[in-house]
Amino acid sequence: MPESLIAGIPVHFPFEPYPVQRAYMEKVIHCLRDGTNGVLESPTGTGKTLSLLCSSLAWIRTRQSEHQMQMVKMEKADFSGIGGVAPGGDLSELAKTMGRANNWGVPKVIYASRTHSQLTQAMRELKRTAYANMRSVVLGSRDQLCIHPEVMRELGNSNKTNMCKLRVHSKTCSFQMRVESRKDHPDLRGPTIMDIEDLVKVGQRLKICPYFASRELVPQADITFMPYNYLLDPKARKANKIELGNTIVILDEAHNIEKICEESASVQIKSSDVAMAIEDVTHIMQVFASGESQDMAGDEPKDFTLDDLTLLKEMLLELEKAIDAVVVDNVVDGTTFPASMMYELLGKANFTYGNVASIVSLLDKLVQYLLVASQQMSIRKGGTFTLLSDLLTIVFANKEDVMSKVYASFKVHVLVEESKQGHGKQQGAKQQGGWLGKGTIAAATGSSKVAKIINFWCFNPGFGMEQLLNTQVRSVILTSGTLAPLKPLIAELAIPVAQHLENPHIVDQSQVYVKIIGTGPDRQQLISNYANRDNPKYVSSLGQTILNVARIVPDGLLVFFPSYPMLNKCVDAWQASGLWADISCKKPIFLEPRSKDQFTSTMEEFYQAIRDSKGAVFMAVCRGKVSEGLDFADRNGRAVIITGLPFPPLKDPKVILKRRYLEANRTRENQLLSGQEWYNLDATRAVNQAIGRVIRHRNDYGAILLCDSRFKDASQVQQLSKWIRGHLGDRPQCSPFGPIVRELRQFFKNAEANMKLPDERETDSPLETVCKTEDEPLAAIPKVKREPGSNATFKSANESAIKVEMANSIKTWTPADYASAAGRKLGGAAPNAMDFMSRLDSNVSSIDFNCCTDSKSGSSGLVKIHKRERSSPTAPESTSQVSKKRYKLVENIKVEPSSSQAKEAPEERAAFLRELRSLVTQDQFRRFGKALLEYKNGTYESFQALMAILLEVLSAPKVRYMLVGMRKYLKNEHKEEFDRRVGNL
């Protein structure tokens, strides 16, 4: 690989670095060399991760080489003395031993990012470099790495963690016990860089625990990959035994670092948690008193006594009483108290700095005890004890000598907890009016004993960073594609920064098209503020804008909404009006799912649609998974539409308190943002992150369309990324829609003509073999098992038929295809009964296109081919035989399909409307949508109008299943009449 000298360090880079990459690596090396901190912004697509890894590891390798030379000099000095004995030899040996133990003073790198998928991408980049042979390891949770079947059956990460601890402590996990003997196995310590999946595979192969095996690799690793919370959360850092002395901490994707720091120092406890903890302690005390504890835990001595339990229960009862006494003035939004209230609340229950360590230890022991007990009886596994332990650990993590800073940075916010029905044995005396009862909030507002949620919120991210800096780290580097403006970030984190950088983008002006669209095609203003977002004209105009852009943009189009409610509102309106169907005709539409399982499959379907069709539209939400870390390079994302500014909820208590905190602590010296500036910046950073999904590398190109007139405001423009501001100019204005359409079309025409074609993905579509055209050779069809004695004609037809079965489509079939299937002798060997062509081998009266069974069995379809008796084409000429077969397509005489084969309407509303739109005309669909909207809030007359349209549009046999499917969308009082009228058809 090419070698470049950057800041005096030889850096091996996969190619000759661009100027922005050289500038970035120079800043990184200066931070490492001088032991200072840096805040570095470089837009997505500029090779930020690659530059970060190459520069930091090049500096590490240089330091390692220098220390190896020092070792050689020390060894030579050992033999320079008289008789080969060096003066002070014992001291020299001691120095070498200490040097090896401390890695000769060479710092290690900790690379942290937000998610494991981002860490996997970084490790993939590392494999491309000349530093792929340096020792690396990734840390994950037990949920990701554990391979013990019983532990993995536990629900929830907390239960898995506690069950794992129990098995390790009792020496009943064979996977963990093998780690010590096999930790030096070449498969584990080999030169290959292993991500989470690789570690799991190696663990399964060697029968060792990947979780504990990865921890064994940390001391020798040059670079360790881990999620943010392992570093910034004191509990996680302690649990994972992460040593930060003389380390280089790299926080990639650090645009959310303030929120993560605040959340790591915040905690919540509910009244119901305390109540259940009291029940759990009581249950354990009853077990102790009855002598059952010996049966449940064997003869092992307990780590706690009955006196410990009695004391803990008294403290929890006092805590319950103290929470009961808290008065919530505002039942809807909650009441805010100073941070001192949390310490007073815990103090009333005798939780103090002096005893908190012993109480946390007792709670951890109780969790382990309940895990054992839960194996033999139906009992909770100590989750409430874990919550209490977290509460005490976080609240008392702040030392007594910094309490004035704590009082300024924290607030206690108390909300009313919604009452739930009791669970199992929890029902009892408290069921009537207690925390676990059925009462409603409204019924309990008159009493202070209503259940409550106590939030201890941190609004100063500097707390988390201060704890990190106090661990004697060498350097902290914060980097992302969207950190600007840098000064407020540095001020909030209260971190001394010697190096900072705002890089321009790596692409030319001609590769990016950026415009602010202030009005839609109908000249309706596009502004997604609170007053306008419910305006039907605005929602319709936004849909028309997306439709027109979808007609022009090739391949992938990303559309980001400010929130999920806004996304759902637009989707409902567009489906009712027919706009959704119009967009779908141009490109298939995918919506961002909220569940983890659906997310992966939806993304793969989107990528598949890009490869196989004319493109696709992906509608997602700012701050969602799609906007934060996914790659939409090249064809996957040619344009991004931002439909509005994703401001935080204005009346959310946490948002209100954050703004108050900034206003109260802002000074000219600390350069903190005002509350309003922070509010605007939080929205703009989410926009910057969503915009970064499109331009992913040097040869990429795309369009960025900001569909909200507020983007022209100077306060919003200044907070956009520097490279975006360069495209908008000094005084950006909203552009008319007509010229934008012309310019956008010309932009993509020029880009496609001048830009290098992207490399196609190597992975083949699973449906590759069924997407071939008819004139392609049959070699593309998978080999099939042919029947002995079959002639060539039948073989050809047989393979062609398998092709149809795989495609589940009859669009490319003609009667000529069936004519070629009639050439086998009647006495020949019969093909497999499951074969599609077996239907052609018997003297049938019709061929059913839509069913795999013989038509004689009573099945029916939509089309049949009636034909004469077959005869062998090789038989001698006979006047009694017909010389030419004739095929006639006739309408199927059976209307109603059999119940076992009846086609059913899609269950989901979106899929139902999409299929309906494909079956009817545009005018019919618009009339249907209008009638459906009137019926939703209408009377019996609106039902009659809807039925008239349904019977007109969906009474034909081929779409009757959609008419039946409409039943579930009708009101209960109308279903009986609907059934009667449909039955009369």
Domain ranges of the chain: 3-73+105-142+186-261+471-502, 263-292+306-418+450-470, 512-748, 909-984
Indicate the angle between helix axes 196-206 and 210-217, nearest 10 degrees.
Answer: 110
Report pLDDT for 834: 40
- Cα dihedral 587, 588, 594, 595 in deg (nearest 10): -140
Rounded to the nearest 5°, which phi and psi values hold at 40? -125, 125
CA 303 remoteness from chain centre: 41
Taking CA atoms, 731 is separated from 8, 311, 688, 728, 962, in Å, by 42, 68, 19, 8, 54
Q: What is the pTM of this model?
A: 0.69
164 assigned ligand-binding residue: yes
β-pairing verdict for 863-866 and 702-706: unpaired
| 559 contacts: CB under 8 Å, gap ≥ 6 | 546, 617, 618, 619, 620, 640, 641, 643
Rounded to the nearest 5°, which phi and psi values hold at 796? -60, -45
Weakly modelled stretches of the chain, pLDDT under 70: 77-104, 191, 291-302, 374-379, 381, 419-448, 629, 756-902, 937
Rounded to the nearest 5°, which phi and psi values hold at 56? -70, -40
Residue with tokens 């470089």: 42
Token output for 576: 């009712």
CA 437 remoteness from chain centre: 36
Specify whether the CB–CB gap between 412 and 338 falls below 8 A. yes
How is residue 848 annotated by DSSP? Answer: B
CATH of 3-73+105-142+186-261+471-502, one of 3.40.50.300, 3.30.565.10, 3.40.109.10, 3.30.70.640: 3.40.50.300
Distance between CA 90 and CA 87 in Å, rounded?
Answer: 9
707 assigned ligand-binding residue: no
Specify whether the CB–CB gap between 248 and 472 falls below 8 A. no
54 assigned ligand-binding residue: no
CATH of 263-292+306-418+450-470, one of 2.60.40.420, 1.10.275.40, 3.40.50.300, 3.30.200.20: 1.10.275.40
Distance between CA 983 and CA 963 in Å, rounded?
Answer: 11
Rounded to the nearest 5°, which phi and psi values hold at 277? -65, -40
Question: Residue 724: CA atoms inside 13 Å, Cβ hemisphere, count?
Answer: 31
Taking CA atoms, 588 is separated from 349, 562, 965, in Å, by 60, 22, 23
Report pLDDT for 519: 92
| 599 contacts: CB under 8 Å, gap ≥ 6 | 592, 593, 625
For residue 35, count other CB atoms closer than 10 A to its CB.
13
Rounded to the nearest 5°, which phi and psi values hold at 615? 130, -170
Report pLDDT for 116: 81
Q: Can you give the length of the chain in residues?
A: 985
Taking CA atoms, 452 is separated from 320, 337, 444, in Å, by 10, 14, 11
Distance between CA 963 and CA 957 in Å, rounded?
Answer: 10
Specify whether the CB–CB gap between 187 and 202 falls below 8 A. yes
Residue 556: which H helix or E strand, with range? Answer: strand 555-561
Specify whether the CB–CB gap between 518 and 712 falls below 8 A. yes
- Of the chain, the end-to-end C-alpha distance in Å amounts to 76
Indicate the angle between helix axes 257-264 and 486-493, nearest 10 degrees.
Answer: 20
β-pairing verdict for 475-480 and 888-891: unpaired
Hey, is 560 helix, strand or coil? strand
Region of 135 please: left (phi>0), alpha (psi -120 to 50) or beta. beta
Do the first three CATH levels of 3-73+105-142+186-261+471-502 and 263-292+306-418+450-470 match, i.e. the same topology? no
Distance between CA 337 and CA 349 in Å, rounded?
Answer: 18
Which residues does residue 705 pair with via DSSP β-bridges, in sequence order?
A: 515, 641
Hey, is 163 helix, strand or coil? helix
Which one-letter amino acid corresponds to residue 540? S
CA 793 remoteness from chain centre: 52
Hey, is 242 helix, strand or coil? coil
Report pLDDT for 94: 54
How is residue 592 annotated by DSSP? Answer: -
CA neighbor of 787 nearest in space, from 766, 801, 773, 775? 801
458 assigned ligand-binding residue: no
CA neighbor of 631 nearest in space, from 33, 49, 40? 49
What is the CATH code of the structural domain delimited by 512-748?
3.40.50.300
b/e for 381-398, b at 16 or more Cβ within 10 A? bbbbbbbbbbbbbbbbbb
Specify whether the CB–CB gap between 824 and 791 falls below 8 A. yes
Which residues does residue 229 pair with via DSSP β-bridges, in sequence order?
A: none
Strand segments (E) across 842-929: 863-866, 888-891
CA neighbor of 945 nearest in space, from 967, 925, 927, 959? 927
| 541 contacts: CB under 8 Å, gap ≥ 6 | 519, 520, 521, 522, 524, 526
Report pLDDT for 419: 67
Distance between CA 478 and CA 336 in Å, rounded?
Answer: 33
Region of 42 please: left (phi>0), alpha (psi -120 to 50) or beta. beta
Second-level CATH architecture of 909-984 = Up-down Bundle (1.20)
Specify whether the CB–CB gap between 696 and 560 falls below 8 A. no
Instruction: Sort 147 into a burial class: Cβ within 10 Å, 0-12 / 13-18 / 19+.
Output: middle
For residue 202, count other CB atoms closer than 10 A to its CB.
19
Report pLDDT for 745: 92
Taking CA atoms, 302 is separated from 161, 296, 308, 309, 369, in Å, by 21, 12, 11, 12, 9
